Structure 1
Amino acid sequence: MNPRPDSTPPSGRTSTRSTTFFKFGAIALVAAAAVLWQRSAHSGEPPVTIPAPTQDEHAAGVHTETAVLAGGCFWGVQGVFEHVRGVTQVAAGYSGGAADTAHYERVGDGDTGHAESVQVTFDPSQITYGKILQIYFSVAHNPTELNFQGPDHGTQYRSAVFPTSAQQRDVAQAYIAQLQQAHVYPGQIVTRVEPYKGFYPAEGYHQNFLEHHPDYPYIAINDMPKVEALKTMFPSLYRNDAVLYTASAKS
């Protein structure tokens, strides 16, 4: 377990990751953290080239749809999808648990049922749900890591898809089976297709974190390579200027 250097745990509480956000004035601490990360940490989420889904949704004249996905720390997953063409909004947040526990400190305990997630709002006439999943499974996270991603451990970092419709559920389940049968990963896919119980945006300081702090040690090591992989592997879908989340525009 290797916590991100973003906070200190409250007294009497332990967590795989700290729960109160640091301000960025402590330059010496950040520099020291960077050295430690460079020596001991590496991203456990390398990009993988995978086939497109054989089963996908049809646009059917709809111009707004949402996908809710969990794949480890929401900083990086949000950052990836903010650079995808056809995506109009990406919120970092929590899904899988109840509304009253959808707070960073509680979710960090790992017993709320929540996973750090993103809500991706997209135009299905420009990008399909299946293509969203292809990016999710290939560059946004590692679907073979059970209840962890890279340095982050706990059920709140699990790989999970929360379909918002029966059609999304069918596409996700079919795609997982397709990828499993194709043996494109060195291990078994552990991604869960879970019932959608709601999505709760995270605290404001978590939103657009990758865009605001691209040189932050955790981001530079674990997440910026994902954005580069998106650019390389999906050049027609990559957008250089990120579409940023604003609370007033959330779905």
Structure 2
Amino acid sequence: MSAVSTTGVPVDIRGLGISFGAAEVVSEINLEVLPGEFVCLLGPSGCGKSTLLSAVAGFVKPSAGEIRCDGEEVAGSNSHAGMVFQSSEALFDWLTVSRNVAYGPRMHGANKSEQARIAAEYLAMVGLPHAGDKFPAQLSGGMRQRVQIARVLANQPSLVLMDEPFGALDAQTRQVLQGELGKIWRHTGCTVVFVTHDIDEALTLADRVVVMSAGPNARIKSIYEVRATRPRDRADPDVIELYHQLRDDIRAEVVASLRNQGIEEEQL
């Protein structure tokens, strides 16, 4: 990897509520993310994880409370943040991989030689140094996600927001990219907030795992610190114990979510 260095910024969420019309999606969210920390948001479908992430990005306006990033209130697009989506359709199909990665620097006025240097640097970082002349349609799903990560990192964000970026990938590719993401995060020093449904993924990546309650009107239910050394060993007794705690915690919220939909546990 090349010598890229980014200073991660803190995120401070206080009394946050988000509503769409009369529907309150999340309420009373209080969370402090430390500079350079990797935090995973975990919870049942419909609990507002992605909505919360979008609010931190500045895409969704809170109905109550506030979000501060590096001490500045987020009002509109968060200039500190870069967003990686679940779908690689966010890439521009008509641009080569290199030009996709260089798009942000180009918009910020980088000349052609600087764009090429940045694209090469970040493609090497995600393990795709020879893919620059290809188009997204010529790549596998996992490779496209790597390009999307490189495109976000090329803007050198101090906060990276990731909304289930590996959710559509096969298990083997997902595991490889989790390892690569961990290396990139440690290398860049950025702060990461990562949405996932996968307990194993959260335990592999996170410093802390934030469990959200069932929606609507979801809240933060519990926060777990993952103290196991990296790379994480799934057979580590501490990891196993934490997995069981998270599994039971999430199951209770999934049952609550289904009950809210009129489905009782004995029907499952």
Is TM-score (shorter-chain normalized) higher than 0.5?
no
Q: 1 or 2, which has the higher strand percentage?
A: 2
TM-score between both structures, scaled by the size of structure 1: 0.29
